[in-house]
Structure 1
Amino acid sequence: MAGLCPSYEFSGWYENMTDYNEISYRDLHRPKESFASRSEYLDHELKIMAPKRWRVNLPFRDYRFELEDWVPAVAATIGKIVMVAAVAGAFAAPLGLSDAFVIENVRYEMLIVAVLFVILFSGILNPTANLAGTHGPLIPLIPLIMAAGGHPMAFGIMVGVLGFMLGILKGGSLMARLTSDGVCGGLLLYLGFIGIIGQIQKLFAWAEGFNMAYIAFAVIFATIVLYAYLEHVRLRWLAIPLGCALAAVIAFALGAPFEFKTEPGIPNLNPAYWWGETTGWQMGLPNMEHFLAVAPFAILAVAMWSPDFLGHRVFQELNYPKGSDKVLMNIDDTMCVAAARQIVGTSLGGGNLASSWGTYMVPAAIAKRPIPAGAILTGLLCVVAAIWGYPMDLAVWPPVLSVALLVGVYLPLLEAGMQMTREGKTSQSAAVVIFSSALVNPAFGWSLTMLLDNLGLIGDKERGQAMGAVHRWIIPSLVFLLLTGILAAIGQIPGIPALL
């Protein structure tokens, strides 16, 4: 599907408008029974919605709740528990903080994001801003941040400030326009493949820990068969709930150890507790040295937002019908919301690193559902999980966790990447971005391949010739040099010692 990424500049709020905009959503809504299939009904809902940007959007007046909305809500809740626990744990480990601290901080973070951002922003005030999730690709860098003298609060606030500036200046949508289908598809293929390999390895490592490696094989084999069957009957949007349930049943039936440990309750809601010198993170408030130490990492974190956000929007474009431009994710608004969520969450004591919520957006796109209704359900489920406690134990159980990420994120990313790289021109760029991402990381691969692609050295040469000098090589060159300089400074270029 050529031209998906460049088409972003034509999909603003008041462009590509259809006759639907003359009448309200409530007037255009038709009962399910008037359609020949469920798919046609969902397509119609996407086409008639006209979300209001930074104004109040209400259920039944501007959108409706459907059974399919539970799919991204459940997937997002599972993903949230897992990813925030990984981030908080990565920060807590060098500080010698316990697992009980990590669980408590995760519960606190889930209440913050659910009440203040998921329901309020994505569900009501701006339904085209994706939910503010977790910056998973940055987790491996957290030990380096702490070793460099970083501070979780300094890092979170700096990421939020830089991200907000990028969103206000519309830098995210600019990067989307400059990124071709080949580069997008290559990124999706790389992230999907690396994610699948990683989850399979983690699941086998878990099972081998108690000498039952066959459990991992049984779980993955059953997941493959289930996913293939759901594809066959066109019910792939059920992959996460059914896959997680199947994985839990198989693992438990074969003797895998599991027990509920987290009891119901409310975490400490006092920010002074979390940022105390002898309580919470036990680090106190950051000083200027802390901010200087985290600056290179914060710039890198925000630079990695663009390919992440872009991949989520492209996934919508691949699954939504034509004429549904108005409900597509707005990259710049999503950046602003994620940045605000980062600043607020960090200031209150949370350890999460915000980004676009992939475990929500990918299942929502597959289920052909817009953002708002599922966002409200996600917020409610996060509150329930945080207070109840027990669901958190099940969500982080390795077979459930790995299967949720496999069928909900990584397999769909592979499929979307393959769809975008069918043509020879796009496959060239895809191959280069995979190659260069494997050399360093996706941020390096994206920036380098975007530059080569826009210069016309690879991919569609006519596309680069149609651009002006600023978009063709000046901005891509600056982005590549900035990212490469940061990576070299913090020692992320293989074979080159850290410059700082």
Structure 2
Amino acid sequence: MTQQNNGCYRSQRRPGKSFSSRTEYLEHELTIMNPKRWGINLPFRDYHFEMEDFVPALAATIGKIVMVAAVVGAFAAPMGLSSEFVIENVRFEMLIAALLFVILFSGIFNPNANLAGTHGPMIPMIPLIVASGGHPMALGIMVGIFGLFLSVTRGGSKLMVLTGEGVRGGLLIYLGAVGMISQVKALFTWAEGIGMGYVAFAVILSTVLIYALLARWQMRWLSIPLGSGLALLIALVMGAPFEFVTEPGIPNLNPAYWWGEETGWMMGMPDLSHFIAVAPFAVLAVAMWSPDFMGHRVFQELNYPEKAYKVLMNVDDTMAVASVRQMVGSGLGGGNLSSSWGTYMIPAAIAKRPIPAGAVLTGIFCVVAALWGYPMDLAVWPPVLRVALLVGVFLPLLEAGMQMTRDSKTSQSAGIVMFASAFVNPVFGWSFTMLLDNLGLIGDKERSQELRHTDRWIIPAITFVVMCVVMAAVGMLPGIPALVESFR
């Protein structure tokens, strides 16, 4: 069977010059691939590298540096740990991700599993986790355990199927709009802080123009390197201060150092109280995976041809990889919180490229950045960072959501999920609107009638109730004090 699959790909592959357009060639590559799930997939035998793979790999590397630094920094600040500690731990995390998971899992063993990235929506919760007596290792292990349970029971893919198109679209619009506004504000805050507000204006204006032109030319997959490069150039020419501070080197690779009493995190090993304190946050983190993973797969469905179903991201397998990566990374001493890697998947889907080739390049880029050091300074500089997130994540999210809400049925569900998300948060908005949509109270009533009794209200109702209990426990429901205080 393996030889048949390999021969099928090789026999059907044709050089790019034999197609009338680059898009036609890329779509042909997607349709002839037949990756082996939990098998051995090798470069040039089961897939090839294309120039389009370099862009999502570069975007993913920039996003990785940015997001892991944000997570580790959110832990470090209330603990009184230094910025040098943050950089060292980020470099360590990048090596863990690249060498142990990105290349091996997404590049070789399971090309249908997206790369295990960083759980950005949990960043605002981290100070509360620390205040509640949480421990980074305890949190990572609990997230991994709950994530594996959801993966084994195929809960992630089930929830994705039960989430109607209107709910998906509205969630993407909300996340895209909120993220876009936050990045613009953050860039202006930085620029005004150095007394150069006009730099932010020039950078944002140039970003809008380049993104519009790339969309016109159907080359949006180039938006991150071109947009970030142009932002870097404009900011430097206008006199914005920048300097390299991170020197080449190898981070400490000893887990005993990171989990020592007087070194690394300076917290020692976690005990039972730490696991109890982080349990509600771990449940919430895994619950937030489903809408996050769903949003990433949507980009493949929107940009890939219909016959390319074999290369679509497998939600359950991605959850399994993210869970194992979380437990291993936390056990070794890392502070990252795993999720599906959005800054890779979104530009890769737009570029019409499958997961494995770009995954291998991403792993190589992450190793180079971690050891070299200097690229980390560039990636976290505000003009580069904010523009990369704007054009690589939030604007595509907004566009994808708008494409999915073109009729009255889907727009109704989209409006409710956006309202509910603004009222509490996207987890509440997603679970609440999914329940209403499946019951037929809003959206497509014909779809509701076709659902089984269990899918129509039992699973959505249980999901909504569990989410509300967890959010009440950690203080995420407006007007309700955090119940997690009782664990302290």
TM-score, normalised with respect to structure 2: 0.98
**C-alpha distance in structure 2 between counterparts of 1:171 and 1:489, whole Å:** 22
Which amino acid in structure 1 is aligned with residue 206 of structure 2?
A: A
Query: Taking structure 1 as reference, are residues 269 and 168 closer, same or farther at Cα in structure 2, changes over 3 Å only?
Result: same
Q: In the alignment, what sits opposite 1:424?
A: 408
Which amino acid in structure 2 is aligned with residue 97 of structure 1?
A: L
Which amino acid in structure 1 is aligned with residue 114 of structure 2?
A: N
**C-alpha distance in structure 2 between counterparts of 1:121 and 1:303, whole Å:** 23
Q: In the alignment, what sits opposite 2:191?
A: 207
Q: In the alignment, what sits opposite 2:13?
A: 29
**C-alpha distance in structure 2 between counterparts of 1:82 and 1:392, whole Å:** 8
Which amino acid in structure 2 is aligned with residue 207 of structure 1?
A: A
Structure-to-structure mapping, 1:185-224, within 5 angstroms: 185-224=169-208
Q: In the alignment, what sits opposite 1:471?
A: 455
Q: In the alignment, what sits opposite 1:380?
A: 364
- Deviation, 1:23, is 5.1
SS across alignment from 1:61: coil
**C-alpha distance in structure 1 between counterparts of 2:219 and 2:134, whole Å:** 46
Q: Deviations over 1:192-220 (max 9, x none)?
A: 00000000010000001111001000000
| RMSD of equivalent CA atoms | 0.9
Question: Does residue 84 of structure 2 align to residue 100 of structure 1?
Answer: yes
Which amino acid in structure 2 is aligned with residue 485 of structure 1?
A: V
For structure 2, list consecutive stretches of 5 or more residues without a partner in the other structure.
none
**C-alpha distance in structure 1 between counterparts of 2:415 and 2:308, whole Å:** 31
Which amino acid in structure 2 is aligned with residue 238 of structure 1?
A: L
Q: In the alignment, what sits opposite 2:347?
A: 363
Tell me which of 58, 76, 92 is aligned to 2:42.
Answer: 58
Tell me which of 174, 184, 201 is aligned to 2:168.
Answer: 184
**C-alpha distance in structure 2 between counterparts of 1:71 and 1:169, whole Å:** 35
Question: Does residue 287 of structure 2 align to residue 321 of structure 1?
Answer: no
Which amino acid in structure 1 is aligned with residue 93 of structure 2?
A: E
Which amino acid in structure 2 is aligned with residue 415 of structure 1?
A: E
Which amino acid in structure 2 is aligned with residue 423 of structure 1?
A: D
Question: Does residue 29 of structure 2 align to residue 45 of structure 1?
Answer: yes
SS across alignment from 1:410: helix
- Deviation, 1:21, is 6.3
**C-alpha distance in structure 2 between counterparts of 1:485 and 1:180, whole Å:** 24
Q: In the alignment, what sits opposite 1:301?
A: 285
**C-alpha distance in structure 2 between counterparts of 1:418 and 1:179, whole Å:** 16
Tell me which of 58, 80, 86 is aligned to 1:74.
Answer: 58
Identity of aligned residues (%): 71
- Deviation, 1:322, is 1.4
- Deviation, 1:27, is 1.1
**C-alpha distance in structure 2 between counterparts of 1:98 and 1:246, whole Å:** 32
**C-alpha distance in structure 1 between counterparts of 2:303 and 2:164, whole Å:** 18
Which amino acid in structure 1 is aligned with residue 151 of structure 2?
A: G
**C-alpha distance in structure 1 between counterparts of 2:432 and 2:67, whole Å:** 28
Which amino acid in structure 1 is aligned with residue 408 of structure 2?
A: G
Q: Deviations over 1:302-324 (max 9, x none)?
A: 00000000010011100111100
For structure 1, list consecutive stretches of 5 or more residues without a partner in the other structure.
1-19
Q: Deviations over 1:127-179 (max 9, x none)?
A: 01000000000000000000011000100110011001111111100001100
**C-alpha distance in structure 2 between counterparts of 1:483 and 1:384, whole Å:** 40
**C-alpha distance in structure 2 between counterparts of 1:210 and 1:406, whole Å:** 22
Which amino acid in structure 1 is aligned with residue 42 of structure 2?
A: L
Q: In the alignment, what sits opposite 2:425?
A: 441
Which amino acid in structure 1 is aligned with residue 81 of structure 2?
A: L
**C-alpha distance in structure 1 between counterparts of 2:331 and 2:200, whole Å:** 40
- Deviation, 1:22, is 9.6
**C-alpha distance in structure 1 between counterparts of 2:373 and 2:207, whole Å:** 27
**C-alpha distance in structure 2 between counterparts of 1:207 and 1:336, whole Å:** 41
Which amino acid in structure 1 is aligned with residue 159 of structure 2?
A: M
Q: In the alignment, what sits opposite 2:123?
A: 139
SS across alignment from 2:267: coil
SS across alignment from 2:437: helix
Q: Deviations over 1:62-114 (max 9, x none)?
A: 10000000010000000000000000000111110000000000000000000
Query: Taking structure 1 as reference, are residues 159 and 40 closer, same or farther at Cα in structure 2, changes over 3 Å only?
Result: same
- Deviation, 1:394, is 0.2
Q: Deviations over 1:371-427 (max 9, x none)?
A: 000000000000000000000000000000000000000000011000000011000
Contact 2:6 2:45 in 1 (8 A): no
- Deviation, 1:24, is 1.7
**C-alpha distance in structure 2 between counterparts of 1:161 and 1:26, whole Å:** 39
Which amino acid in structure 2 is aligned with residue 45 of structure 1?
A: E
Which amino acid in structure 1 is aligned with residue 339 of structure 2?
A: S
Deviating runs (4+, > 6 A) in structure 1? none
Question: Does residue 155 of structure 2 align to residue 171 of structure 1?
Answer: yes
Query: Taking structure 1 as reference, are residues 22 and 349 closer, same or farther at Cα in structure 2, changes over 3 Å only?
Result: closer
Question: Does residue 254 of structure 2 align to residue 270 of structure 1?
Answer: yes
Question: Does residue 73 of structure 2 align to residue 89 of structure 1?
Answer: yes
SS across alignment from 1:312: helix
SS across alignment from 1:314: helix
Q: In the alignment, what sits opposite 1:150?
A: 134
- Deviation, 1:499, is 2.5
**C-alpha distance in structure 2 between counterparts of 1:22 and 1:249, whole Å:** 45
Question: Does residue 102 of structure 2 align to residue 128 of structure 1?
Answer: no
**C-alpha distance in structure 2 between counterparts of 1:33 and 1:496, whole Å:** 62
